[in-house]
Structure 1
Amino acid sequence: MQEKLVSVIMPAYNAEKYIEKAIASIVGQEYKNWELVIVNDGSTDRTVEIIEKYVSKYPQQIFLYHNEKNSGAAVALNNAMHHATGEYLCWLSADDMYFETMISTQVDFLEKREEYDAVFSKCVYIDKNDKLIGGWEPEDYIGRLKMPDSKEPYYSLLMIGNAFNGCSILAKRSMFVETGNFDPEALYATDYDYWLRFAAVARIGYYDDFNVMSRRHSEQGSCIGENEIYAAKAFENMTRKKELMERLCKKAGYAYTRETIVQAYLSRMINAQGKEKELLVLTRALEAYLTEKGTV
């Protein structure tokens, strides 16, 4: 049977230190019917030179596009999605890597499990030198994921925060089309904002293995301390998308009511204890929600 085409999208900005390893991890996949769509987001280092070396070697599979200026990850991701043609789609950051089984195992999961539109897996964390520094493997959460008719990860997205590493998601491209564009205004919570909306429309499964190497280093935007604040703002924005919020609540096992939204805010505020700025954003958002007319 012909393998279905998988599009891997990759935004790249001044990624010369790591992007060659990221691209090589796609080239080395067990699954062979892939395309890699890279958007250069105004890089000023050797990023484009490195990419072009691979484009010349794999001209039928690796494609490079350019933003006219540095516009942020969301704009680059949207540009890449626009050019992607595969039936399945996944996103790899230019400083991360896939295990060689990433695409094959997760496509196989979706081909065999028709009840799902998307699937995510576990990841390991590596440092700037590729040294293993930990792994994402929360025992209680994964235990709930494995239960029949599990409400995870919808519950976690609704009540706690991000429920998976975004680069571990592989999904039907139609789900990305239905979800729409990444939001440039979400900034350091670009992924969380997107997965909140994505989870409302897609049926998400879990593959119990490690398929992504997620890099942690000081140059990442998420390391500057603003990601949690923007995540709180992303949730506030989500509460105003009533149709999506109703669908997410239902998947998480809750009725779409005013009490559920308040409970979600309070749950997040408990988890934000000790994080003064995030707690302030959540508190103000809850106060605004309680005073708005026409809310659930």
Structure 2
Amino acid sequence: MLRQKLVSVIIPAYNAQNTIIDCLQSVENQLYKNIEVILIDDGSIDKTFETALAFKSLNPNMTIELFSQSNRGPSAARNEGLRCANGEFVVFLDSDDKLDSSFIEKCLINFENNPTLNLVYSGVRQFGRESKDSYFGDFSLNRFLRTNVIPVFAMVRRSHLLAVGGFDENLRNHEDWELWIRIISQYGPFVCQIKEPLYHYRKRIERDSITDKTEEGNNIEMSYCYIYKKHYEFYFKNGFGIYDLLVKSKYEEKYYNTWYRKLFYRLKRKN
């Protein structure tokens, strides 16, 4: 039964000519073979599309669909890939990263062993500028509503993604967190982390990845506030009104500069 499930690996790619072969080879090397690759070239100005096309021609046994669009950002590229996908399950793989050969197989085994699961993900192995293994900690709804603890590469049911409408293209960062909030609010907090570093995340020497830019930018607070206001009812239902957040964190110094405190002061200034 496991072998009958098609998995769609969706790869948003922008100026990834130097890494896209490594990325695609990691999919080719999966122990689980019933996979389709949907690659969306998001307006690259290098040879990303041509490089991927050459890889496809040299690997006729792989199912690889290539599409190109004007530059609209990773959320729009992932949504376009989702519209083209046919798999029962979906994995979003960034074009400069790689999957361990057992990633898809182990995710599917967890889904098969526990049909109530909505999201399955693994730990991360960093390579490139930094080299270390890291994990996301044990999941709890309380912790998840404070900050994202589920990575964008989690395996998820395509039917769930379509039902909630895919990624919110208004967000330029934390878009995965906002998507997971919608899935969890609708289908429940049934998630699983595989305690192995099966996703290989490239830390670029140039510090120009989307994650690096997000970490260095000043728009994180705005994204958090947008997410909280969009999902206010779900937060409030789970005891996370803005005042509850502040009271619960009153004596916790580590939360002094967190997003919900900044949101409170922003709202207070408007009154």
Q: TM-score, normalised by structure 2?
A: 0.85
| Paired residues of 1:154 and 1:199 also in contact (CA < 8 A) | no
Give 2:18's aligned amino acid.
K
Q: Which among 250, 254, 264 is matched to residue 270 of structure 1? A: 254
Query: Is the deviation greater in 84-93 or in 111-120?
Result: 111-120
**For residues 17-62 of structure 1, what are the alpha-carbon distances to aligned partners after superposition, in whole Å with 9 as ceiling and x for unaligned?**
1110000000110011010100001112121111112333337611
Match of 2:229, SS state, is coil
CA distance in 1, matches of 2:64, 2:14: 17
CA contact (8 A) 1:189 1:230 kept: no
In the TM superposition, structure 1's runs of 4+ consecutive aligned residues that sit over 6 Å from their partners are 264-269
Q: Could you tell me which residue of structure 1 aligns to residue 229 of structure 2?
A: 240
**Which stretch of structure 1 is more off in the superposition, 86-95 or 184-193?**
184-193
Q: How far 1:240 moved relative to its partner?
A: 2.4
Deviation at 1:282, TM superposition (A): 4.9
The corresponding residue for 1:113 is 114
CA distance in 2, matches of 1:262, 1:272: 9
For 1:260 and 1:287, locate their aligned partners in 2 and report how far apart those are by CA, in whole Å.
14
Q: Aligned to 2:132, which of 122, 134, 146?
A: 134
**Offset at residue 264 of structure 1 (A):** 7.5
- SS state of the match for residue 131, structure 2? strand
Alignment of 1:63-142 (within 5 A): 63-67=65-69, 69-127=70-128, 133-137=131-135, 141=137
2:150 aligns to what? 164
Aligned with 1:80: secondary structure?
helix
Instruction: Output one character per residue of 1:122-162: Cα deviation in whole Å (capped at 9) or x when no partner.
Output: 1111116xxx6111136xx3xxx3xxxxxx24322212x22
The CA distance in 1 between the partners of 2:246 and 2:192, in whole Å, is: 27
Name the aligned partner's letter for residue 286 of structure 1.
F
Matched, 1:260 2:244: yes
| Residue identity matched to 2:213 | I
Q: CA deviation at 1:177?
A: 1.5
- Choose the corresponding residue for 1:186, options 141, 163, 171: 171
Matched, 1:44 2:45: yes
SS of residue in 2 equivalent to 1:239: helix
% same residue: 21
Give the 3 Å change call, closer, same or farther, for CA 105–270 of structure 1 in structure 2: same
In structure 2, relative to structure 1, the CA distance for the partners of 1:103 and 1:187 (3 Å cut) is: same
Residue 201 of structure 2 corresponds to residue 214 of structure 1: yes
User: How far apart, CA to CA, are the structure 2 residues paired with 1:154 and 1:166?
Assistant: 17
State the partner residue of 1:276: none
Cα distance between partner residues in 2 of 1:33 and 1:184: 30
Q: CA RMSD in A?
A: 2.9
Match of 1:236, as an amino acid? C
* Aligned 8 A contact 2:214 2:220 in 1: no
**Which whole-Å CA distance do the structure 2 matches of 1:108 and 1:154 have between them?**
24
Measure, in 2, the Cα distance between the counterparts of 1:78 and 1:58: 26
Distance 1:64 1:264 in 2: 49
Structure-2 change in CA distance of 1:210 and 1:263 (3 Å): farther
C-alpha change, 1:136 and 1:112, in structure 2 (3 Å) is: same
Which of the pair is proportionally richer in helix?
1
**Alpha-carbon shift at residue 200 of structure 1 (Å):** 2.6
